[in-house]
Structure 1
Amino acid sequence: MLIERNPHELNAAVKLASEDDFNLNIDLLHPIVPSQCTFKIIASKIEIKMKKAEAIRWEKLVGEAVADVKHFTPDKYPSSSLHTRNWDKLVEDIKEEEKNEKPEGDAALNKLFQQIYSDGTDEVKRAMNKSFMESGGTVLSTNWTDVGKRKVDVCPPDDAEYKKF
Structure 2
Amino acid sequence: MAECESGEKPKVQVKHDWYQTDVAVVITVLIKNVKEDNLCINFAKNCVTAKIKFPDQDDIDLKFNVSHDIVPEQCSYKLTPSKIEVKLKKSEGIRWAKLEGHEDLPKAIPVEVPQSSGPPSYPTSKKGKDWSVVEKKIKEEEAKEKPEGEEALNKLFQEIYGKGSDEVKRAMNKSYMESGGTVLSTNWDEISKEKVDVKPPDGMEFKKW
TM-score (normalizing by structure 1): 0.50
TM-score (normalizing by structure 2): 0.40
Which structure's relative contact order is higher, taking Cα pairs within 8 Å and 6+ residues apart? 2
> Who wins on radius of gyration, i.e. which is larger?
1
